[in-house]
């Protein structure tokens, strides 16, 4: 029998629901749950997949590369040849368009912003000497991206994420008319948090942007490039650097990636791919910053994975762990909320998150309600710059870290809190519409 929309219910029906959900909520609180799904961290089973990496090198190992480079010593600014080939295949770019860094792509992005701020981009005025610098943030999006530009005093401008990527009409208009806009944050594949991927048309339009600022750059964070949940139902992107070259805009993009959710998040390798012109500009600073990054760790990764085919097989093991968790979240939300007209959510084919939207004005209340029941979620608003979601409706669901039984329990609590908060909101609105006082029995605790 189809469920009835909350928005079609009478005040009397909503009161009955509120009483029912409050009784269920008290039972949940009595269980003393302590469940945390606030960040998209790999779980222990996923970390265990890479333990063999600890055994590929020992004190008896030959730590020389194929070209004779001794990985124990200084040097090799761009990365060892074997690692450049492996990561180049992972990022779908030629090895000579690549720089391999340390363990964190977020660190590389921060450095790239910092260098642009203090010394400029390819001879252009350093941003610190400009009266105003602006940045485009696709929302909902990745809170740590937004935090970097906020930290440097850059004004973040929001553009909505659609099913096939950001609103390109808005982006094209903004960047073509405002030279103070210097860049845009993008997570093009299995985007954080929606899981949406950019369409071919969206990628082509990015490559053909005509920014007013000569130092405008697209920050293309391909964090989930290999993070499929299914073998045969996968999203595929046009490679942005090649498309920019075809469009006559070879210098437009910085492309970032890492093995952080492939091997060990704290001990992976990160990389930046871009045009040869951009690389030379970056190396001028990098030669002063470092003599070279951790080549032993680069060698460890190469010998563990072997080649890109070994990495693909490794990612299938990750998918086998993650897929049941994503499906459990989607099944619980569907069972509890479909047809009620109070929430929507994405069903991604990969990545690490599910974007969950509740009624406007309810996200913070749902998160707080869950917390009081022992379930910690990502703070409401985190997917917007400054933590300020103008609709107060978006919540990022991170299924990866909890054991699946705990995850199912947590999601039942999320669904219950969503229904309780929505029923209370709609009851309040019905009373206000009739200019009646809210009954004491249904006031929020």
Task: State the residue for tokens 């701020």.
Answer: 117
Alpha-carbon radius of gyration of the chain:
24
Tell me whether residue 352 is in a domain: yes
- In a domain? residue 204: yes
Instruction: Please answer whether residues 159 and 166 qualify as being in contact, where contact means their C-beta atoms are separated by less than 8 angstroms.
Output: yes
pLDDT classification of 435: cutoffs 50, 70, 90: confident
**In this structure, is residue 360 part of a structural domain?**
yes
Quote the pLDDT of residue 437: 61
Considering the domain architecture, whether residues 259 and 291 belong to the same structural domain is answered as: yes
Q: Residues 327, 216: one domain?
A: no
Same structural domain for residues 41 and 162? no
Q: Is residue 58, in this structure, part of any structural domain at all?
A: no
Mean pLDDT of the chain: 96
Same domain, 288 and 209: yes
Q: Is 386 left (phi over 0), alpha (psi -120 to 50) or beta?
A: left
Any domain includes 411 = yes
Q: DSSP string of 71-106?
A: TTSS--SS--HHHHHHHHHHHTS-GGGEEE-SS-HH
pLDDT in tens, 224-247: 999 999 999 999 999 999 999 999
Q: What share of the chain is helix, strand, coil (3-state, %, to 5)?
A: 45, 15, 40
pLDDT digit string (tens) for 278-327?
Answer: 999 999 999 999 999 999 999 999 999 999 999 999 999 999 999 999 99
Co-location of 144 and 284 in the same domain: yes
Pinpoint the alpha helices (H) of 181-234.
Answer: 200-207
Q: What is the pLDDT of residue 1?
A: 42
- Based on the fold, state whether residues 350 and 425 are members of the same structural domain: yes
- Looking up residue 354, the CATH number of its domain turns out to be 3.90.1150.10
Query: Do 262 and 314 form a contact (C-beta atoms < 8 A)?
Result: yes
pLDDT at 2 over 80: no
Residue 63 has pLDDT above 50, yes or no: yes
Domain around 167: 63-306
Residue 441: pLDDT over 70: no
Q: Residue 162: inside a domain, yes or no?
A: yes
CB-based contacts of 72: which residues, under 8 Å, 6+ apart? 63, 295, 296
C-beta of residue 299 within 8 angstroms of C-beta of residue 73? no
How many domains are contained in the chain? 2
Which of 306, 325, 357 lies at the terminal end of a domain, its last residue? 306
Q: What is the mean pLDDT of residues 50-68?
A: 96
Q: Pick from 282, 306, 330: which residue ends a domain?
A: 306
Helix (H) / strand (E) element for 410: namely helix 404-433
Given 243, 273, 306, the domain boundary residue is 306
28 found inside a domain: yes
Q: Which of 413, 422, 412 is nearest to 444 (CA)?
A: 422
Give me the CATH number covering residue 152.
3.40.640.10
Instruction: Calculate mean pLDDT across residues 66-83.
Output: 96
Mean pLDDT for 408-415 is 98
Residues 125 and 243 in one domain: yes
Whether residue 439 has pLDDT greater than 90 = no
Mean pLDDT of 344-358: 98
Residues 140 and 245 in one domain: yes
Yes or no: say if 15 and 435 are a contact pair by the CB < 8 Å rule: no
Task: Provide the percentage of residues in the chain whose pLDDT is more than 70.
Answer: 97
Domain presence at residue 52: no
Residue 443 has pLDDT above 70, yes or no: no
Look up residue 203 and give its DSSP letter. Answer: H
């Amino acid at each position: 029998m189809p469920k009835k929309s909350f928005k079609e219910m009478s005040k009397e029906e909503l009161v009955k629901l509120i009483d029912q959900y409050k009784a269920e909520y008290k039972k949940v609180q009595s269980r003393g749950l302590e469940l945390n799904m606030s960040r998209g961290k790999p779980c222990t089973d996923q970390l265990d997949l890479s333990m063999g990496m600890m055994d590929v090198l020992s004190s008896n190992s030959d730590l020389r590369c194929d070209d004779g480079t001794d990985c124990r010593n200084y040097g090799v600014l761009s990365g060892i040849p074997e690692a450049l080939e492996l990561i180049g295949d992972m990022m779908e770019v030629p090895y000579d368009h690549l720089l391999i860094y340390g363990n964190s792509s977020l660190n590389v992005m921060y450095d790239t912003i910092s260098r642009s701020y203090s010394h400029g981009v390819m001879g252009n005025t350093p941003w610190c000497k400009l009266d105003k610098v602006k940045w485009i943030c696709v929302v909902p999006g990745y809170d740590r991206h937004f935090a970097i530009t906020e930290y440097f005093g850059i004004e973040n401008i929001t553009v909505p994420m659609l099913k096939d990527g950001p609103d390109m009409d808005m982006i094209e208009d903004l960047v073509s008319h405002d030279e103070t806009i210097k860049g845009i944050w993008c997570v093009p594949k299995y985007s954080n948090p929606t899981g949406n991927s950019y369409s071919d048309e969206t990628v082509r339009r990015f490559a053909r942007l005509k920014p007013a600022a000569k130092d405008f750059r697209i920050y293309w964070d391909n964090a989930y490039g290999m993070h499929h949940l299914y073998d045969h139902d996968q999203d595929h992107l046009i490679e942005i650097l090649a498309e920019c070259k075809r469009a006559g805009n070879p210098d437009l993009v910085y492309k970032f990636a890492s093995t952080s959710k492939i091997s060990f998040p704290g001990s992976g390798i990160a990389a930046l791919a871009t045009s040869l012109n951009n690389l030379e500009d970056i190396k001028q600073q990098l030669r002063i910053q470092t003599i070279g990054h951790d080549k032993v760790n680069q060698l460890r990764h190469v010998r563990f994975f072997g080649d890109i085919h070994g990495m693909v097989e490794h990612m299938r093991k990750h998918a086998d762990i993650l897929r049941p968790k994503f499906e459990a979240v989607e099944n619980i939300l569907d069972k509890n909320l479909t047809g009620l007209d109070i929430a929507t959510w994405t069903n991604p084919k990969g990545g690490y998150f599910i974007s969950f939207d509740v009624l406007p004005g309810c996200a913070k209340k749902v998160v707080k309600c869950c917390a009081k029941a022992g379930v910690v979620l990502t703070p409401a608003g985190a997917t917007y710059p400054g933590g300020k979601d103008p609709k107060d409706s978006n919540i990022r669901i991170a299924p990866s870290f909890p054991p699946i039984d705990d995850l199912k329990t947590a999601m039942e609590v999320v669904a219950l809190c969503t229904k309780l908060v929505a029923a209370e909101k709609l009851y309040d609105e019905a009373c206000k519409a009739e200019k009646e006082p809210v009954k004491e029995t249904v006031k929020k605790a």
